[in-house]
Structure 1
């Protein structure tokens, strides 16, 4: 398969920490998936009075629309270029869907954070480490059109370059998401004013491929129609390798190296 990403797109991913792939999966799959999700909310799409909460979380699903959406040739090609051929595992479906509705109440989950990727024994919060155990990419799959008022995920562009130096001292053990957010906040790197905030807007069928260390946040829904989005991780075959003898570092690894001052 020929490359689907240009070198400019790859460099932008390395520097910004995210890549917006328009039309990464067919809009028809988004519509079919959205119909299934409406059923599983237990709500009536035609009755707005049933929308009594700002967010409804649905579990991961492997129905055909979700399985096919996660495995298009465009996405597989992008995974190869960003993570490395043979270094990621195909998804059988998509993860949690936080379905967001227009609502006056605070959703209670709109703080800046880095996504955790593994759960040590006895832990209650997901953890993250420097070699990104358990996550090759964070992905945002849009199953509805998302404008600026439809609760688009907020992204701190370039923030993934700040995170590695705070994970370096804790090594393979890593730290939990709450602790990492606290460390970043005290250092002024959680909602860093020099890192621009980008809104993950787009059309149903678009996908945002994000570096696993990207600082991001939800926000309240101020628009009209509900927002349907999946936010799965891409599973890695192994841990990030930050000192490959052959120098064949993936863009994900190169970004971590840049954050540590090992690469320009």
Structure 2
């Protein structure tokens, strides 16, 4: 297969912290996944009066449409370009899904954050999970659109270039890193960054550096938004020091921050 990402696009990923892949999987796969999700929601697809909450959270999914959506040849090739061959684990599940509904109520999960990669003292408490400078456990954050998402449909807010700021924070915390909440408490003190909305057609995937700051926002559109935010898992830790030979774009971004 020819290269999916050009050198310019890889450079954009290093400096901005994300890249958008259109048509990463088919609309048929997206439709099949959304049908499964609707069956698990406590509301009626055809009756908006039953859409009583701004967000419903659904768990991990392993049915074929979900696995197929993240294991297309196109995505696998891009994973190789950003992480390196044999350095990531093919996704075997998708989740969680914060399904966002049109609502005048403010959702309670709109704070800036960075997703954690490995468990802390209480593995059952995600707020205690941790992030370290070697991104233990996490190669990428994936924002996977299973429905069309416009600027009104609660697209995830990406803070362009914020992965550089976070890498500098994490460099002070050693191998143990920060917990999810410890790092979240430090994000408001970072430099202001351009806000980019993760919009696109169903089948679009945003591949984000694991340190990229992002946040949710209220839904002001008409149709529910179906988006997953699974990690791409690492086989081993990233290499953020020593020789630059064989350095992946994900690693290069961290090294750039630490210069």
TM-score range, shorter chain: over 0.9
Aligned partners of 2:83 and 2:25: how far apart in 1? 19
The superposition leaves residues 113-158 of structure 1 with CA deviations (integer Å, 9 ceiling, x where unpaired) of 1111111223631210000011000001100000000000000000
CA contact (8 A) 2:112 2:187 kept: no
Residues 113 and 187 in structure 2, CA contact (< 8 A), matched pair in contact too: no
- Does the Cα contact within 8 Å between 2:111 and 2:216 map onto a contact in 1? yes
CA–CA separation in structure 2 for the residues paired with 1:49 and 1:116: 36
Which position in structure 1 is the counterpart of 2:240? 242
Query: Could you list the runs of 5+ residues in structure 1 that have no partner in the other structure?
Result: none
Q: Distance in 2 between matches of 1:116 and 1:251?
A: 20
The residue number in structure 2 matching 1:137 is 140
Report how many residues are paired: 256
TM-score, normalised to structure 1, is: 0.94
| CA distance in structure 2 between the partners assigned to 1:236 and 1:165 by the alignment | 21
Deviations 1:7-33 (A, max 9, x none): 111010011100010000111100110
What does 1:118-129 correspond to in 2, within 5 Å?
A: 118-122=118-122, 124=125, 125=127, 126-129=129-132
Q: Which residue of 2 aligns with 1:157?
A: 160
CA contact (8 A) 2:118 2:136 kept: yes
Task: Compute the displacement of 1:244 (Å).
Answer: 4.6
In structure 2, the partner of 1:33 is: 33
Kept in 2: contact 1:166–1:184 (CA 8 A)? no
Give 1:167 shift: 0.8
The unaligned stretches of length 5 or more in structure 2 are: none
Distance 1:117 1:82 in 2: 18
Let me know the Cα RMSD of the aligned residues. 1.1
Deviating runs (4+, > 6 A) in structure 1? none
Tell me the TM-score normalized by structure 2.
0.96
Is 1:253 the equivalent of 2:256? no
Using the alignment, how far apart are the partners of 1:37 and 1:119 within structure 2?
27
> What SS is found at the alignment partner of 2:57?
strand
Give me the whole-angstrom Cα distance separating, in 1, the residues matched to 2:187 and 2:198: 22
SS in 2 for 1:169: coil
Q: Does 1:167 align with 2:176?
A: no
Equivalents in 2 of 1:87, 1:184: separation in Å?
A: 29
Deviation at 1:49, TM superposition (A): 1.1
